[in-house]
Structure formats: C-alpha cells, structure tokens
Amino acid sequence: MTPKKVMLSAVQPSNRLTLGNYLGALKNWVQLQSQFDCLFFAVDLHAITVRQDPKELREQTYRAIATYIAAGIDPDSVTLFAQSHVPQHAELAWVLNCFVYMGELSRMTQFKDKSAKQGQNIPVGLFTYPALMAADILLYKTHLVPVGEDQKQHLEITRDIAQRMNQIYGNDLFTVPEIYLPPVGARIMSLQNPLSKMSKSDPDPQSAVYLTDTDDQIRKKLKRAVTDSGSEIAYTAEKPGIKNLIDIQAAITGQSPEQITQTYAGKQYGHLKVDTAELVATAVGPIRDRTEQLLRDRSYLDDLLKQGAKKARTRAEKTLGDVFDRLGLIRRG
Ligand code: AQP
C-alpha cells in the first residue's frame, strides 16, 4: 500500500480561536484528515512574535489543541503537538533564514500589517516569521497545507525557499508543498469592518465570533454586525457586510453563495442576520462545550502533547539531519 501523503497545518495560540480560524482552517482539516498522514500543532513560537501574556499564552496553547479535537480532529490518528516541543522547527528556521531574502520578507502583507501596529520597535521575529513557517512545513515533507487566504503568501514563499534549496542541494531535499484553500470561507471578514479580516487579535471583541462565545453572545454580535446601505440582499463586493454573512452561511452549510442569496429574495437584512446567528450558534455550540470539557483534563492533554512531540521530533530530526549533511555540517551524534 502506498503511504498516505502528508498534510500539516497549525494555528497561533495568540488568543481564543475565531469563526474565521474554524471556517478557513479547522473545518477543512477535519474533512480532509482521513485521506492524509496529518500533523496539527499550536504554533506558540509564532505567537511570541508579538508580545503575549505568559499565563494566557500557556492557557491558549492548551485551548487550541482542545479546540482541534472538539472540532472533530481525531487525536488517535493524527499527530498533535506544540511547536516549541519540537526544537527542530527553530533549528531549521535558522537555516532557512540564510536562504530567504530581505526583499522577499519585506513584501509580506502580514509583516506590513502587524509591524504597522507595533510602532517603533518591531521585533525581528515578526520579519522572519515566514522562515519559521517554512520550517514547520518542510520538516515533515508536507504535500498539502490547508489554510485561509491570508496565509497564501507565506505558502508561496515556502515553495520558493524549497525550490531554491532543492536546486542547490538536490531535488529530493524538500517536498514542495501545495496550498489547499477552501472554496468558500477562505477569508471571513470582521463583523465590525467587513473590509478587514476577522482576526483573533483584533482589539475589538465585537469584530469576531470566538469559539468560546455563548449562543447569546453570538446572536448579539451578529445582530450588531456592520452591514451596508440599501436593503436588497445581494452577493456583491459593493456590499461587503452582506457578502460576509452569506459567505459564513455558505461555509457552514456547504451551499453556494448564489443558492443562499436566492432564498433571501424580498427579505430584509434582519432576516439574514438572525438566520446567520442561528447557524453559527449551532456550529460553534458543540465545539465550545466539548473544548471546555477537554480543558478540565490537563493530564490527558499533557500526555497527548508529549506523545505527539515525540513522534514529531523523530520525523523532524530525519529531515534536519539530511539538511545539515547536505549543507556540510558535521552530523551530531
Ligand atoms: N478571517 C479568516 N478567514 C478565514 N481563515 C482565517 N484564518 C485566520 N483568519 C481567518 C486561518 O486560520 C488559520 C490560523 O491562523 P493563524 O493563527 O496562523 O494566524 P492568522 O492567519 O494571523 O490568524 P488570526 O486569527 O488573524 O490571528 P492573529 O490575530 O493572531 O494574527 C490559518 O490557516 C489562517 O489562514
């Protein structure tokens, strides 16, 4: 039997996960997991590229892993771990830092957005974030990376680095990964500003539905969602607020945005908001409740993280050893 291809993805435990993280990433991991050899992890080393409260970071790392399982990831058949538990990620990131160019990194939209929010003192880690992400992916000879659209640029740079190094050191050094973008839900927008992405680190808690929100909070947030002038429900870029609500419905139900739009002929914005709120509450509720349940059993989560890191380290060390060899570093004992 041919071995399954490798699929890998991760979330930064920089806050509670949002509906955007669920629809853009987690939901697709769950759908694809049985077809691949999967690794899912919490990228705590990426999270510290912006200042984090230590207690919160630890808490959110456990919460991220618990949320993956609550969303439907099978902990018995995938490898689950925390990025910082596998030191090879940081080691390979250093090597890749020596093969990625300043010009490439300066073009990254996420760096431009996040550094603009930092003021004067921009951490270097924020700039070299894509090298660490490339290391995450290349260490495991990954074939497919399911992510939301905001990560597309980082996947492209990963492919560029892999191809560049393969040309120098041999085509079998790295597998060049493919990106998987969901057909709908790849970019869920803020409920308060539908022109910017829903983000877990947005300082306005009304802008996002968190996977920890109660049904009541979800209903209130959707009711207050910023919509557009006019009253006709249309799926168009001129109505980004309405479009976002239709996209949310489409990503949850699997219907096309056009099908959903048709059901609202002659109806008001209010109808769309109420229906979207109910769909979101139904999708998020079981994930929220199961996450809380899992979080009560820390020893189970610790055990899972320990086992996952052990498996990941063995695989990662193999690739890293090969990279060190080809670069001319003396193999460590
Ligand atoms: N709004 C979104 N719509 C669809 N997908 C999204 N993702 C993030 N936001 C949306 C996808 O979720 C996965 C995990 O993202 P991440 O934690 O690695 O960082 P991010 O992309 O920067 O996400 P956030 O929520 O905006 O985090 P912060 O605020 O900490 O930067 C990725 O697959 C991402 O594409």
User: What CATH number is associated with residue 259?
Assistant: 1.10.240.10
SS3 at position 261: helix
Of 199, 209, 244, 245, best ligand 1 pocket probe by most atoms within 8 Å of the beta carbon: 199
**Is 247 found in the same domain as 304?**
no
What residue owns the CA closest to ligand 1's atom 8?
Answer: 21
Whether the predicted pLDDT of 305 surpasses 80 = yes
Claim to verify: residue 169 and residue 87 sit in the same structural domain: yes
Residue 82 DSSP code: E
Distance CA 269, CA 142 (A): 43
Rg (CA), the chain: 21
pLDDT of residue 193: 97
CA of 20 to the centre of ligand 1 (A): 7
Q: Which two tokens stand for residue 261?
A: 């739009």
| Strands of the sheet with 6-11, listed across from one edge | 79-82, 37-42, 6-11, 144-146, 178-180
Looking at the structure, tell me whether residues 118 and 209 fall in a common domain: no
Q: Does 1 reside within a domain?
A: no
Are 279 and 216 contained in the same domain?
yes
Pick the catalytic residue from 114, 239, 243, 273: 114
Evaluate if residue 158 carries a pLDDT over 90.
yes
Does residue 196 belong to any structural domain of this protein?
no
- Check residue 228 and give its pLDDT: 87
- Active-site residue, 114 included: yes
∠ CA 253-279-264, rounded to 5°:
75
**Rounded Cα gap, residues 118 and 273, in angstroms:** 34
Mean pLDDT of 123-148: 97
Q: In this structure, are residues 145 and 9 in contact, taking their beta carbons and an 8 Å threshold?
A: yes
d(CA 83, CA 44): 6
- Burial tier of 274 (Cβ tally within 10 Å: 0-12, 13-18, 19+): middle
Question: For residue 44, which amino acid is it?
Answer: D
Instruction: Write down the pLDDT at residue 1.
Output: 80
Same domain, 34 and 177: yes
Q: Is 42 helix (H, G, I), strand (E, B) or coil?
A: strand
Mean pLDDT over the full length of the chain: 97
Amino acid of residue 110: Q
- CB burial of 309-327 (b: ≥16 within 10 Å; e: otherwise) equals beebbebbbebbebbbeee
pLDDT digits (tens, 9 = 90+) for 251-294: 999 999 999 999 999 999 999 999 999 999 999 999 999 999 99
Residue 209: what pLDDT? 98
What's the average model confidence in pLDDT over 180-199? 96
Number of domains in the chain: 2
What's the pLDDT at 189? Answer: 98
pLDDT in tens, 43-68: 999 999 999 999 999 999 999 999 99
Q: What percent of the chain has pLDDT over 90?
A: 96
Classify residue 333: in a domain, yes or no. no
Assess whether pLDDT exceeds 90 at residue 333: no
How many C-beta neighbours within 10 Å does residue 148 have? 21
Residue reference for tokens 């769950």: 30
Residue 194 makes CB contacts below 8 A (sequence gap 6+) with: 226, 240, 241, 243, 244
Domain that holds residue 163: 6-181+298-327
In a domain, 140, yes or no: yes
Q: Is the pLDDT of residue 299 over 90?
A: yes
Residues 171 and 262 in one domain: no
Alpha-carbon distance of 272 to 254, in angstroms, equals: 17
Number of H helices, E strands in the chain: 14, 5
Residue 191 identity: L
CA distance 53 to 44: 12
Residue 11 tokens, joined? 């979330």
Predicted structure pTM score: 0.96
250 and 121 fall within a common domain: no
Q: Is 197 a catalytic residue?
A: yes
As for ligand 1, residues whose beta carbon falls within 6 Å of it are 11-12, 14, 18, 20-21, 23-25, 147-148, 150-151, 186-188, 197-201
pLDDT at 331: 85
On whether both 213 and 269 belong to a single domain, the answer is yes
| Among protein residues, the one whose CA lies closest to atom 33 of ligand 1 | 147
* 77 alpha carbon – ligand 1 mean position (Å): 24
| Measured distance between the N- and C-terminal CA atoms of the chain, rounded to whole angstroms | 33
Q: Is 318 a catalytic residue?
A: no
Residues 1-14: what's their mean pLDDT? 95
Output 32 or 229, whichever has higher pLDDT: 32
> Which CATH number belongs to the domain containing residue 159 in this structure?
3.40.50.620
Per the CB < 8 A criterion, the answer to whether 129 and 155 are in contact is no
Q: Which atom of ligand 1 is nearest to the CA of 12?
A: 17
